[in-house]
Structure 1
Amino acid sequence: MTVTGQKQTACVRRRAPRPEWTGLLYIAPAMLLVIVFFVLPVGFTAWMSLHNWPLMGASRWIGFNNYFRMFNDGRFVAALNFTAYYTVIVTILIFAVAFPLALFVERQRAFVSTYRTIIFLPVVVGLASASLLWVWLANVDSGFISPALKALGLVEKSPNLLATFDSAFLTICVMVVWKIAGFTMIILLTGLQAIPADLTEAAVVDGASWWQRFRFLTLPLMRRTIALALIISVTGSILAFDQFYIMTSGGPQNRMISVVYYIFNQSFVSFNLGYGAALSIALLAILVIISVVQLWLLRVGEERS
């Protein structure tokens, strides 16, 4: 090899990309945010959960006593049961509304952009603001819903929709569906638009009915999209707090206290910060388990198909 060739080879070696830390530098800001606002708070919460941590005074190490306590806490079990019940009901309702809406706005038709905007508008309203709005709408004297029900002849007198468990629970579910269905619709619409048009046209040519196309083409191809929407909906429902705190304050008869509401009461009303931290860690573990199970079911379903 000539001297010139050796110099060129050396230059190539100097310029050749080495396993640099460039990629880590790019993600360093995001990693810093995750560490500061998630990892460290979770670690500190886990440390608090191992202590009797009063609002005032010194903390005292008690090990896993806070975790043993929650198994004998009937109110925490009741909050878990109510949260699970609420999560199942509201998730079903959201998908029952969002999926038909996504199918409706997926087709090109007149004013389809207007329809999408109108359906999505409630999403931009904060959950606390939406809860306050629906408290006013459900008010028996100055609201709109109760007089409308009476005017339609559905009830004899204007009911107080937030006075009983059944009516209050139904009102909250309707509010949440009104608030969240547009967001779920956008997620499902993205999955629908990602389905190749050639496959749908081929199914039509083969004589497949609408139900057959939906069952054997649309649903399998949207499996990941549906799983994402389901995880978001389930996680948001388990973490529900604002609507119960603002609309019913946990009533009637303390039957509408969610897990997060109970954690809030233990931490910032009773000032059992250590026990509240233990409940938070337990809730985090539940969310992780549910997400892992959903992703596992998704993978199993893909392998079978």
Structure 2
Amino acid sequence: MTMPAIASSPARKRRRRSSGWQGLAYIAPAIALVTVFFVLPVIFTLWMSLHRWPLLGAPRWIGLGNYLRMFDDARFLAALGFTTHYTVVVTIAIFAIAFPLAFFVEKQRPLVSTYRTVIFLPVVVGLASASLLWVWLANVDSGLLSPLLQMLGLTERRLNLLATFDTAFLTVIVMVVWKIAGFTMIILLTGLQAIPTELTEAARIDGARPWQRFRHLTLPLMRRTLALALILSITGSILAFDQFYIMTSGGPQNRMISVVYYIFNQSFVSFNLGYGAALSIALLVILVLISVIQLWLLKVGDDRP
């Protein structure tokens, strides 16, 4: 009885080996794409960052000179501070809108599918197109927002909403929330729908109020969904470029220059390609660290019995 088992062992190993090669063959195209379009560009960017690399002329090795330079670059530090401020404000605004919308469309009600579609529609509009649309809406002469605010009595006269920092910043925030909140809503909706209804009903029967159910039941069970939504929102906010380039051109008074906008200026306006590459690597490190910290914070307490 032992001989067939012994004889079948090499065949089983050959099948495992064959299935392993088949698995590698399936993922080989993805590995090739990631290598060509991510790994190799990152390596080349890292190599560029160690050189003084003008657009014209031969590059010159300077080691960590570009990385040391950024600590004394007041404009880069200002761009980093503005990007941090923008990221905090827009992330809070997106979640403040997306969470109520997710609860609204999660319940079965008449026309709920229509509501979901209408709320999600701005997501399919490109960010550049959305920025151009809102530039027109905010135009003091031909736009719709300034006359509307004047008609509602919120302003005494028509205002150029993109002329001052406060109104321009608020306009950009509103545009991004209008554009992104539907996408975040869909992510949060999947997390809400994954919560067993039995738990919610049991908490309601036990007398838990809506806020208590949200705090002690909904949020803990949506940890992974929240992690995904937060990482996408924060990463997208840190990498913001289109809205500032198109809507404000970095103004007013160059106070709305994000980190990516500053990297663009250094690389393709001032032609400091080596310094722009160093800034890009620094931004990549910041994004990785933020994502790791978020995942760690959201996993705290998962191992409790």
Paired residue secondary structure (2:302):
helix
Superimposed CA distance per residue, residues 39-63 of structure 1 (whole angstroms, 9 cap, x where no aligned partner): 0000000000000111111111110
Q: Which amino acid aligns with 1:56?
A: L
For residue 263 of structure 2, what is the amino acid of its counterpart? I
CA distance in 1, matches of 2:146, 2:303: 51
What is the alpha-carbon distance in structure 2 between the residues aligned to residue 102 and residue 42 of structure 1?
Answer: 37
Where do residues 133-282 of structure 1 align in structure 2 (5 Å cutoff)? 133-282=133-282
TM-score by length of 2: 0.96
Structure 1, unaligned runs of 5 or more: none
Indicate the residue corresponding to 1:117 in structure 2: 117
Deviation at 1:201, TM superposition (A): 1.4
Moved over 6 A (4+): none
The Cα shift of 1:7 comes to: 7.3
Extract unaligned runs of 5+ from structure 2: none
- 1:18 Cα deviation after fit: 3.1
> Helix, strand or coil: the match of 1:18?
helix
How many residue pairs are counted as aligned between the two chains? Answer: 302
Q: SS in structure 2 opposite 1:190?
A: helix
Among all aligned residue pairs of Structure 1 and Structure 2, give the percentage whose two residues are the same amino acid.
77
Taking the aligned partners of 1:35 and 1:291, their CA distance within structure 2 comes to: 21
Match of 2:302 in 1: 302
Distance 1:7 1:230, change over 3 A: closer
Please give the TM-score of this superposition, normalised by the length of structure 1: 0.96
Give the CA deviation at 1:207. Answer: 2.0
16, 19, 26: which one aligns with 1:18: 16
Considering only aligned residues, what root-mean-square deviation do their CA atoms show, in Å? 1.5
Give the corresponding residue for 1:90.
Answer: 90
Q: How does 1:13-52 map to 2 (within 5 A)?
A: 13-16=10-13, 17-19=15-17, 20-52=20-52
Quick one: which amino acid aligns to residue 108 of structure 2? Q
* Counterpart-to-counterpart distance in 1, 2:75 and 2:255: 10
| Deviation for aligned residue 1:203 | 1.3
Q: More displaced, 293-302 or 152-161?
A: 293-302
Per the TM alignment, residue 109 of structure 1 is displaced from its structure 2 partner at its CA by 0.3
C-alpha distance in structure 2 between counterparts of 1:92 and 1:7, whole Å:
65
Sort the Cα spacing of 1:7 and 1:104 in 2 relative to 1 into closer, same or farther, 3 A.
closer
Matches within 5 A, 1:66-81: 66-81=66-81
Amino acid at match of 2:16: R
Q: Is 201-210 or 70-79 further displaced after alignment?
A: 201-210
Secondary structure at the aligned position of 2:147 is classed as: helix
Distance 1:135 1:301 in 2: 45
Distance 1:212 1:54, change over 3 A: same
**What SS does structure 2 have at the residue aligned with 1:54?**
coil
Aligned CA distance change for structure 1 residues 50 and 184 (closer, same or farther; 3 Å): same
Contact 2:131 2:243 in 1 (8 A): yes
* 3-state SS of paired residue (1:21): helix
